[in-house]
Structure 1
Amino acid sequence: MQTVSIIGFDGALASAITGVIDLFRLAGVTWARIHGEQPEPHFTTRLLTRNGDPCRCINGITLLSDGSWEELDADNADLVIVPTIGAPIDQVLASNADLVAWLGQFNCPNSSSSGQVRVASNCTGAFLLAEAGLLSGKEATTHWGFSNAFHQRYPGVNLHPEKLVTVDGDIACAGGGMAWWDLGINLIERHAGPKVARELAKAFVIDAGRNSQAPYSALQSKRYHSDPVILKLQDWLEEHYSQAVNLDSLATLSGLTSRSLMRRFKLATGDTPTGYLQAIRVEAARVHLESSRFPVEDVTRLVGYEDVSSFSRLFRKHTGLSPGAYRLRFGR
């Protein structure tokens, strides 16, 4: 039986701790009970904190720990999971320097010899892994709403905020909010097999087919730069996105050559002017689909496109859903 160690710290999200514990403890158990069979548990769990102190979660709940993470050696750990940071991220990072240093031992080559996922994070817990250097050069994800802050702080991480779960070597990350259940099912499949994971997902009524958090995200305006020309152009695009726009007209508006505009816009935002405009239009279309009854054809024209099929392909590229499927999921 494998041991899953969940790392507790003050300001963590309680559900990302207790929910994960429930999943692993009941893998091989709930399904068997439903069918009147003998349970076969596959995991035991431990909540580990600094010095074994209670974990005071962001919702006011205090969870008793099973011991200290300092007693756990990386070479002997089956699986370590870092939950969501619910409190201000900078505050949690600053007050957990010892935890960050402890997590750093999993960056040792000797600790990754099993070929199996051994360290994982949910949502903003990825900040703790990145702070410890575990994600440098690796693919990772985090909550879409904090992706800009993450990218700024850890530019050496190959961040994919559109993904719900990433696995790179022996490290896994999950996206925002309740993605801990997707992470849990993924890890249970890897450690206990697809049959156990599939049965647990059915028992918990979990949709195990989710792979993207793009439908839930909102436009990240990419304003963490200080180029006044590009900031002014972003303001203009966000006000006039429904108009016919091309690179030459944007260059004229900015007072730059087309080549200089492309270079400066990419440097400032990480995107092209066209790509940024598309993202604004998709975001505007989301609002219409969520709050109005306009047909998709009308929404297409309202955000600056004429061809419905082309717009639908663009919308699916950004959100992972067709406009109609998006309205069914998020519309009034």
Structure 2
Amino acid sequence: MRTVSIIGFDGALASAITGIIDLFRLAGVTWARINGQMPEPEFTTRLLTRDGSPCCCINGLTIQSDGAWNEPHRSGNGSDLVIIPTIGGRIDRVLAENAELINWLGRFQSSDSGRVRVASNCTGAFMLAEAGLLDGRQATTHWGFSNQFRQRYPAVDLQSDKLVTVDGHVACAGGGMAWWDLGVYLVERYAGAKVARELAKAFVIDAGRTSQAPYSALQARRYHSDAAILRLQDWLDGHYSQPVNLHFLASLSGLTERSLIRRFKAATGDTPTGYLQVLRIEAARQHLENSRAAVEEVTRLVGYDDVSSFSRLFRKHTGLAPGVYRSRFGR
């Protein structure tokens, strides 16, 4: 059987630990029991902490560990797969308190196995990035912390809309309960597609999810000190439904069009037009979630005339058509 080691630390999210343990321990087991067959476990798991002491999770739950990751004989070779769960506490504090663990993770810089050797869920990606494992690689993390992640780790190719990324021997899952998706994916990589499909069915998991974009909210993008751009953002926040063009926005900001594009991009990471689109899509999401207005009316309310063009743009940003989005998230 393959050995999966989950790394525990104080301030971790309990469900991201116990849930992923359940998935791996019951791969090849639950489906067999449902069908009256002999269970054939595929994995053994262990929860490892710095010195083998219990893991004190962010919700107050204490989980007994199975040993210590820093024991001399635990160089990482004893595990087929190492998983970092979600950081539930303050990210900067947890990182500072786990410098020894981050240093230990550095030994997973490379792998000759051709398989995923180390993975993270949600904000656990901050630990992998802090250890330098994600430099030059694609990665994902919780959408709500994507700006913070990009600022702290500019060498990482962050794909914040993706639910799971795999680059070489490193895998990352996005926000919250994405350990479901990560777990099923890794079970497939190690035990095969049949075992993974049966596990997803047994746990009633939608294994077809690929994006966390439908769950994300507009990031404010105000972590800058360009006063002219901040004033323009304030104006756009209240007038996004009005017809505007680049010439008008440049006049409003007191900048030339060329300077506006350059400074807006430097401050927010987006163009004025792109930022306006995101504002309109976020407003449309609110209408679809909280009102019964027809899609045609929502299109008009957020500043568009053509429903088909709006629908294509909405799908581009959220991964879902407006009607599908409403059926999933509407009241």
Same fold (TM > 0.5): yes
Q: Which residue of 2 aligns with 1:305?
A: 304
Please state how far the C-alpha of 1:227 moved relative to its aligned partner: 1.0
Q: Which residue of 2 aligns with 1:328?
A: 327
Query: After the TM superposition, which of the residue ranges 74-83 and 312-321 deviates more from structure 2?
Result: 74-83
Equivalent residues of 2:119, 2:170 under 8 A apart: yes
Q: Which residue of 2 aligns with 1:45?
A: 45
Measured against aligned partners, the alpha-carbon deviations of 1:73-131 in whole angstroms (never above 9, x if no partner) come to 13443100000000111110111111111111111x3xx10010010000000000000
Q: Which residue of 2 aligns with 1:126?
A: 125
Equivalent residues of 2:3, 2:78 under 8 A apart: no
Distance in 2 of aligned mates of 1:323 and 1:32: 40
Distance in 2 of aligned mates of 1:80 and 1:167: 14
Please state how far the C-alpha of 1:167 moved relative to its aligned partner: 0.3
Distance in 2 of aligned mates of 1:215 and 1:170: 28
Please state how far the C-alpha of 1:225 moved relative to its aligned partner: 1.3
Equivalent residues of 2:146, 2:160 under 8 A apart: yes
Please state how far the C-alpha of 1:226 moved relative to its aligned partner: 1.2
Distance in 1 of aligned mates of 2:78 and 2:199: 27
Q: Which residue of 2 aligns with 1:244?
A: 243
Distance in 1 of aligned mates of 2:76 and 2:54: 22
Paired residue secondary structure (1:70): coil
Q: For 1:193, give the aligned amino acid.
A: G
The two structures have a TM-score, normalised by structure 1, of 0.98
Q: Which residue of 2 aligns with 1:288?
A: 287
Q: Which residue of 2 aligns with 1:55?
A: 55
Measured against aligned partners, the alpha-carbon deviations of 1:29-71 in whole angstroms (never above 9, x if no partner) come to 0001111111111100000001001000001100000000113
Pairing of 1:31-42 with structure 2 (within 5 A): 31-42=31-42
Distance in 2 of aligned mates of 1:99 and 1:91: 14
Q: Which residue of 1 aligns with 2:79?
A: 77
Paired residue secondary structure (1:147): helix
Measured against aligned partners, the alpha-carbon deviations of 1:208-254 in whole angstroms (never above 9, x if no partner) come to 00000000000001111111111111111111000001100001011
The correspondence for 2:102, drawn from 100, 103, 107, is: 100
Distance in 1 of aligned mates of 2:69 and 2:173: 22
Please state how far the C-alpha of 1:6 moved relative to its aligned partner: 0.1
Structure 1, unpaired ranges of 5+ = none
Distance in 1 of aligned mates of 2:277 and 2:184: 34
Q: Which residue of 2 aligns with 1:318?
A: 317
Distance in 1 of aligned mates of 2:270 and 2:131: 29
Q: For 2:308, give the aligned amino acid.
A: S
Distance in 2 of aligned mates of 1:18 and 1:187: 16
The correspondence for 2:89, drawn from 79, 87, 90, is: 87
Equivalent residues of 2:49, 2:65 under 8 A apart: yes
Residue 27 (structure 2) pairs with residue 27 (structure 1): yes
Paired residue secondary structure (1:51): coil
Q: Which residue of 1 aligns with 2:232?
A: 233
Q: Which ranges of 4 or more aligned residues in structure 1 deviate by more than 3 Å?
A: none
Pairing of 1:166-205 with structure 2 (within 5 A): 166-205=165-204
When the two structures are aligned, how many residues end up with a matched partner? 329
Q: For 1:55, give the aligned amino acid.
A: C
Q: For 2:56, give the aligned amino acid.
A: R
Residue 205 (structure 2) pairs with residue 206 (structure 1): yes
Paired residue secondary structure (2:83): strand
Q: For 2:24, give the aligned amino acid.
A: F
The two structures have a TM-score, normalised by structure 2, of 0.98
Structure 2, unpaired ranges of 5+ = none
Give me the identity figure in percent. 76
Distance in 2 of aligned mates of 1:248 and 1:270: 20
